[in-house]
Structure 1
C-alpha cells in the first residue's frame, strides 16, 4: 500500500532560480523517499512533466498530472455563484407610508411624498461576496394622471432618479437598474419622492443570474 504524504512544491525559474509560485501535492514516500535521492527524483519528475499527482497552486489553480509546470503562475479558477432572487413586500420595509390588509402582492404602502421621508428595504445578499450584476425592479401605483420623479439609493450611496407615469389607480412594474452592486450580507435600498405625483409602493425584486 502506498505511503502518501502532503508535499509543498516550489516552482522556480530555471534561469534565475527565483521562486515563481508555490504548490501543494501528494508524495508517495515509497517511490520518492525523504532522502537526497528521493527529493532529486521528485524534483526531476515534476520538472520533466512525469509526476503522477496533480499540483494545486496556492491560488487554487490545478496543474494536471504528468504536466510540466508553467513558468508563469496559472490564473486562479473563476468563482461561480448560484442564481439569486428576492421578492420583498413594501409591508416589510421601514419608514414612509402605511398599509392595511394582509401582506402580499397588490397591497401597497404609501403615500411616498415630500413629507413622508424615505421607504427603506433590507436586502440580504446570501452569496457570500460583494458582487455587482444585480437587477432591481419595483412595482408602484399612482392615483392620478400626473407624472412624477422618485429616487433610490443603495447602502446610502448617491440617489438615482427614475420617472413614474400617472397610472390613475393601477400598478406598474418598472426595471430601475440592471447592474447594481451589493455587499455580502444586509444591504439597504431607500426610496424617496423627488417631484410630481406621490406614489404607493408594492414590492421590489432583486435578482442575479448564476455567474462568475
Structure 2
C-alpha cells in the first residue's frame, strides 16, 4: 500500500459525503414537493387539476429520461450561475439535486398513493383543509414507505456522485477514474469501490431500521 492511499481516500470520501448530504437535502425538498403535487392534483383528489398534473408529470418524465451524464452537462451553465464554477463537489450538488428530484418525486408519489382514500374522505368529512390532510394524513400514514423511498433515492444519489466524478466533481468517483483507472492504481480502484459499497450498505441499513422502528411503534399504538 502506497503512502498516499489513505490521504487520497480520506479526501475522496469527505467530498462524496459532502455531495450526498447536501444533494439529498435539496433533492428531498424539491422531490417531496413534486410528489405531493402529483398526488393532490390527480383526478378525484383534494386539489384536482388535470392539466397541472399532466404538465408536472411530463416534466418529470422528460428529466428522468435523460442519461445523468448528459443532464450534468446540460446543467453546467446553471451550476456556474449559482455557485460560480462548474468544477468541484459544490458545483455537482446542483446537478445531483435536480437529477435526483424527479426520481424522488415519483417514488414519493407512489408511497403517498398507498394511503387509503377512505382516510382522506374521513378527514374531508370533518372539515380538514387540504394542507391538514397533506401533513396530518398523507405524510404520517405513508411515513414508513416514504422512508424507504428516500433511502432508495439517497443510494441513487451516491451512485450519481461516481458518475459526476467523470467531469470534475471530485469524490470517490473522480478518485477511481483519475488514479485508479488512468494511472493504473489498482489499490485506489479497489479501495474506492469498497468504500462506495460500504456507504450504500450503511444508508440501506439505516433506512430499513428507521422504517421498521416507525412501523413497530405504529402497531403498538394501534
| Coarse TM-score class (shorter-chain normalised) | under 0.3
Greater relative CO (CA pairs within 8 A, separation 6+): 2
* Larger fraction in strand: 1
Choose 1 or 2 for highest CA Rg: 1
* Larger fraction in helix: 2
What's the TM-score once normalised by structure 1's chain length? Answer: 0.24
